[in-house]
Amino acid sequence: MSNGRTLAATRNTGPETTSVVKDFLALIKIGIVNSNLVTTFTGMWLAFQFTSRHFLQELDVILFTMLGAALIIGGSGAMNNFIDQDIDPIMKRTKARPTVTGRFKPNFVLTIALSFLIVGEILLFAASFAAGMWGLAGIFAYVVLYSMWSKRKHVSNTVVGSISGAIPPIIGFAAVEPALGPGALALFLIMFAWQPPHFYALAMKRTEEYRAAKIPMLPVVKGFKRTKYSMLFWILLLLPLPFLLPELGLGFLTLATALNVGWLILALKGFTTKDDMKWANRMFIYSLNHMTILFVSIIIFAVFS
């Protein structure tokens, strides 16, 4: 009988362990961590190329930067979950978070968040003082300016939140070249302009959830038509920004412009669509592909610049 119980316990451990890991990854918002690491690496890679330094000679900088950035982004995500415990149960998109289901207690979440942030900052400062300072700026922008202040009070919360989302490539660049430069500014502006239409599309899909949670997202406060005009504005603003990276060559500029024009055409279709939800979903998916292709292309074209 004891062997039977042991075998049963062994069988039950797998799914339980898997569930804990899955919840932990949800706690630190692993999807956001991964996407931001792409932009962090892009900034670092661009700095290596622009300063003619070889990355193989500075693998420690790469390790400190990538691991440090992952930890502060994950820690900030956990802190956001800690702050939003009262509204997450209201929204379908967030009601399965481990802070809502009770998988992780508030004190545990806060401990994990602070531990990640502290260790991540130590690693970023080990990469360079500038990378550490920009890491602190990113944490402050996301946790304080967005999560604690603007998210629940101002319709401009998405724009405010875009500040933190645009800082990871700056962290990567600063780890290699603390003085930064036009390339770092270009990456910051591209990421800053990309985020509002991306998150407005998501907000349109979740309008009623945000309304129930009393979060003043643009579609909730101003309606869909105004949201579409705002998305169009930010995409138009994005159009010239790749030209701030002329060092990457004509091929990159052509590809980036094609991506932006495609997004612009899709945005314009929003004013004649009969199905706002279907259109918003297409905008959201396009934005994800846009960012992935654009930043991977920056890495590739930088090698040949």
Q: Are 264 and 236 in contact (CB under 8 A)?
A: yes
Q: How far apart are CA 233 and CA 48, in angstroms?
A: 33
Task: State phi, psi for 106 to the nearest 5 degrees.
Answer: -55, -45
Res. 82: pLDDT tops 90: yes
The reply to whether 12 falls in a domain is: no
- Long-range pairs, 270-279, Cβ under 8 A, ≥24: 270/228, 270/231, 270/232, 271/228, 276/204, 276/224, 277/204, 277/205
Q: What is the mean pLDDT of residues 241-264?
A: 96
Which of 142, 145, 138, 108 is CA-nearest to residue 124?
138
pLDDT in the model for residue 8: 35
The reply to whether 33 falls in a domain is: yes
pLDDT in the model for residue 18: 57
The reply to whether 8 falls in a domain is: no
The reply to whether 4 falls in a domain is: no
Query: What is the number of structural domains in the chain?
Result: 1
pLDDT band, residue 156 (cuts 50/70/90): very high
Res. 259: pLDDT tops 50: yes
The reply to whether 6 falls in a domain is: no
pLDDT in the model for residue 68: 97
The C-alpha angle 116, 120, 121, rounded to 5 degrees, equals 120
The reply to whether 22 falls in a domain is: no
Token code pair at residue 268: 């314009």
Looking at the chain, the number of H-run helices and the number of E-run strands are 15, 0
pTM of the model: 0.89
pLDDT in the model for residue 3: 44
Structural domain of residue 261, as residue ranges?
27-303
Q: What is the mean pLDDT of residues 218-245?
A: 96
Q: How many CB atoms lie within 10 A of CB 189?
A: 16
pLDDT band, residue 94 (cuts 50/70/90): confident
